[in-house]
Amino acid sequence: MPDSAATAAAKPSENAGDSDSIATVCEMCFWKCGIKAQLRDGRVQALSGNPDHPLSRGRLCPRGVGGLGSLYDPDRLSQPMIRVGERGGQKWRPATWEEALDRTAEGLRGVAAHYGPEAIALFYHGAGGSFFKTLVKGLGSANIAAPSYAQCRGPRDVGFELTYGESVGSPEVVDMANARAMALIGTHLGENMHNTAVQDFTDGLRRGMRLIVADPRYSVAAGKADYWLPVRPGTDIALLLGWANVIIQNDWYDREYVASNSVGFDQFAAEVARYTPDAVYLETGIKPQVLVDTARELAQAAPHAVIHPGRKTTWYGDDAQRSRAVALVNALLGNWGQPGGFYLSSSAGLKGHPQQPPAPAHRAPADREAGQFPFAGSTLASGLREATLTGKPYPLKAWMVYSSNLPMVLPDPRRTRAAIQKLDFLVAIDILPAEITGWADVVLPECTYLERHDDLIAPWYREPYVALRQPVIEPLGESKPGWWMAKELARRLGLESHFPWEHPTDLHQARLLASGFSLEQYQSLKQRGVLRVDADPLYQPKDALYQFATPSGKIEFWSQQLADQGFDPVPVYRRPEQPGPGQFRLLTGRAPVHTFGRTTNNAMLLEQFPENEVWVNRRAAADLGLRSGDRVMLRNQDDVTTGPVKVKATERIRADCVYMVHGFGHQDRRLRRAYRNGGDDTAVTTRFKTDPLMGGTGMNLNFVSLEKQESGNEA
């Protein structure tokens, strides 16, 4: 391999024009803030928040600023590679783009010819995935999944869909800036860093918002809370239904609102009557008086009060029901469409390319058996892996993996490795040599978000907009943008018609014109990075009747849909399995300077957060003879280990669990800074429970013991 992508000569992109600043969109995480890139002598000098962009408002998070560390990472993949030797043997030879794309097309064509096009699966994460989705759909496969559903936000979305008929979206429609009281259930805002979410959260705090944080760990958010509830892990449903019961028993809810906007309230009230403060205390460890006081705080501030629905909600396998409990306490607060509750979002209404042909007919995805996971609203990445492994309901024989490091994303990586060995072909498209590229037959190096166009970005939000990702410099090394690869593959596979544009700029223009925007507006979008459009009203009058998209048209306290499928129509708390002696439940979370394993090789960000630590309650650590700075191996109940990881002995966590930031402990040597730095929580996440409603994978079911390492032993 040549030295590195970063040493290659860089030319400024044509977008630079006469100005030394280009507006584009960040992809250091998936919030997609508008940024401005400053150029000097063909190098990107600095990144800052775009003041015109509603998600940045001129501000930026540490990862956004540190994007240069990813752009100029010397470990970047810099040329296409083709595997030599056995799969996973980590031996490749460099290839030309022509050869690598030919080989990829041949691999996909072979599988499609032999097993049908539905045997091809795409895993993706991020904006660039859209072009590969078009490709795989065009081939005739619906086996397309982002792990951000079944491994992250899916249960939350389903809980809200079952209750309100719609999900809270991303960015979440939580009106934090105007909330007078808010409760967080494990949501660690501030450590889980999304620029606008933190802006709104701190706006709310400055305006005097009362804050209740339920978390087994004293998070940064807990440090700002009026009430920290160090809840026993896995007992959140009891807590939530306890709040519901206290609010109902004390008549602290708006009877008229509930009567006119909901169905099934009486059945719900009868079901939750058993969650008395005393009963809830026995499960959660939260004192009865604290339960009552916090319920009162929320109810008194209603409807300007909200339980935040969170984001990563795949914890115990009953997560859609827990999210429904969150949705229902919110319903008692009457906060839908209210300031300080859930605002009503709108979008720019962007249409697709007018010449985009419909995708061919396809077989139902292989991620589940017929009738399984009836409320799944998206294809399950974990389900595609199971189909690959078991051949049921039908076999998957080729994986295309775009920017999703599956061995550190899907629970039980042993199953991921076994599934990969069943494949005829695996192509990985990535920026860094993440673990998944180590299993690939062909590796296609993509350039970063600062070197490429992606499709237009136009989410539902309080201030709707269209944003443009455009290159700031030309791709480094031989890396190429995803759109170019997808089009080249389409040409080889006879799918040109699915890409009815020469260049993404043509796609952007066609979509904007088809949506009623003008060419002048397109020019302005290129200059400013964003086009703002008028928003629909954020709130509705308190007594207005909102037409909810549920079967009843109302908020469903009692769900006929769930009853019909044999599930609990009202959420029920069931105690999860508890760790045994010497074991701790492994909980995971995020640090504000890292996005999973994607940034843990970024030198700028590592300087601020060099490695993950395992947080252990100080007294529990002392009992084990552990002190801060000691290194331990984590061994789970399946005898799988990870580490060594540094111990953080702290008062900031309960004694029955330990905590780690996700994304460290990479095992690919080519990531020179991230290789074996810290511990990989996914490695010891061999246990998981699949949510029967929607297929999400609850992953907080792994119990670890801590084994002290001799100092200096890194073997």
Partner 1 sequence: MKRDGSVRYGMAVDTRSCVGCSACVLACKSENDVPDGHARRWVNQIVSGTFPELKMSIWSDSCQHCDDAPCVSNCPTGSSHVDSASGTVQVDRSRCTGCKACMVSCPYNARFVHPDGFVDKCTLCLHRLEQGRSTACAEVCPASAIVVGDLNDPASRVSRMLRLRKWRQQKTAAGTNPKFFLVD
* Residues contributing to the site for partner 1 (CB under 8 A): 45-49, 58-62, 64-66, 68, 189-191, 193, 195-196, 198-199, 201-203, 205-206, 218, 220-224, 228, 230, 592-593, 603-605, 607-609, 617-618, 650-654
Choice between 28 and 302, CB closer to partner 1: 28
Choice between 96 and 289, CB closer to partner 1: 289
Choice between 223 and 349, CB closer to partner 1: 223
Query: Minimum distance from CB of 49 to partner 1 (Å)?
Result: 7
Choice between 191 and 424, CB closer to partner 1: 191
Query: Minimum distance from CB of 604 to partner 1 (Å)?
Result: 6
Query: Minimum distance from CB of 121 to partner 1 (Å)?
Result: 36
3-state secondary structure of 497: helix
Query: Minimum distance from CB of 592 to partner 1 (Å)?
Result: 4
Query: Minimum distance from CB of 711 to partner 1 (Å)?
Result: 24
Query: Minimum distance from CB of 554 to partner 1 (Å)?
Result: 37
Query: Minimum distance from CB of 479 to partner 1 (Å)?
Result: 23
The residues near 640 (Cβ < 8 Å, ≥ 6 apart) are 414, 683, 684, 686
Per DSSP, 291 falls in state H
Choice between 228 and 573, CB closer to partner 1: 228
Query: Minimum distance from CB of 65 to partner 1 (Å)?
Result: 4
Choice between 21 and 372, CB closer to partner 1: 21
Of 445, 436, 426, whose CA–CA distance to 73 is shortest? 445
φ/ψ of 495, rounded to 5, equals -115, 25
Query: Minimum distance from CB of 62 to partner 1 (Å)?
Result: 4
3-state secondary structure of 580: coil
Choice between 66 and 445, CB closer to partner 1: 66
From edge to edge, which strands make up the β-sheet containing 210-214? 227-229, 210-214, 181-185, 305-308
Cβ–Cβ < 8 Å for 514, 351: yes
Quote the tokens at residue 98: 């022509």
Of 520, 539, 591, whose CA–CA distance to 192 is shortest? 591
Number of H helices, E strands in the chain: 23, 26
3-state secondary structure of 652: coil
Q: Report the C-alpha gap between 161 and 184 in whole angstroms.
A: 20
Query: Minimum distance from CB of 414 to partner 1 (Å)?
Result: 35
Query: Minimum distance from CB of 18 to partner 1 (Å)?
Result: 21
Choice between 16 and 603, CB closer to partner 1: 603
Choice between 397 and 585, CB closer to partner 1: 585
Sequence-ordered alpha helix ranges (H) in 140-181:
147-148, 154-164
Q: How many CB atoms lie within 10 A of CB 41?
A: 8
Q: How many CB atoms lie within 10 A of CB 60?
A: 22
Choice between 563 and 622, CB closer to partner 1: 622
The residues near 402 (Cβ < 8 Å, ≥ 6 apart) are 122, 123, 124, 125, 126, 128, 129, 132, 429, 430, 482
Query: Minimum distance from CB of 195 to partner 1 (Å)?
Result: 5
Using the structure block, give the residue that is written with the tokens 């700002």.
Answer: 224
Of 38, 39, 47, 45, whose CA–CA distance to 12 is shortest? 39
Query: Minimum distance from CB of 317 to partner 1 (Å)?
Result: 27
Query: Minimum distance from CB of 422 to partner 1 (Å)?
Result: 42
Show the beta-strand stretches assigned E in 435-489. Answer: 442-445, 465-467
Per-residue burial over 325-360, b = 16 or more CB atoms within 10 Å of its CB, e = otherwise: bbbbbbbbbbbbbbebbbbbbbbbebeebeebeebe
Looking at the DSSP assignment, which residues form a beta bridge with residue 444? 429
- Angle of helix 482-492 relative to helix 97-115, nearest 10 degrees? 60
3-state secondary structure of 618: helix
Choice between 222 and 432, CB closer to partner 1: 222
Query: Minimum distance from CB of 44 to partner 1 (Å)?
Result: 10
With the CA atoms of 411, 417, 423 and 429 taken in that order, what torsion angle do they form, in degrees rounded to the nearest 10? 70
Query: Minimum distance from CB of 200 to partner 1 (Å)?
Result: 10
Of 144, 201, 170, 154, whose CA–CA distance to 29 is shortest? 170
φ/ψ of 198, rounded to 5, equals -70, -35
Concatenated DSSP letters of 297-325: HHHHHTTSEEEE--S---SSS-HHHHHHH
Choice between 56 and 404, CB closer to partner 1: 56
Q: Report the C-alpha gap between 338 and 326 in whole angstroms.
A: 17
Choice between 561 and 608, CB closer to partner 1: 608
Choice between 99 and 611, CB closer to partner 1: 611
Q: How many CB atoms lie within 10 A of CB 553?
A: 14
Choice between 49 and 695, CB closer to partner 1: 49
Choice between 16 and 655, CB closer to partner 1: 655
Choice between 106 and 203, CB closer to partner 1: 203
The residues near 300 (Cβ < 8 Å, ≥ 6 apart) are 181, 252
Query: Minimum distance from CB of 152 to partner 1 (Å)?
Result: 21
Q: Report the C-alpha gap between 34 and 57 in whole angstroms.
A: 8
Q: Report the C-alpha gap between 132 and 499 in whole angstroms.
A: 11
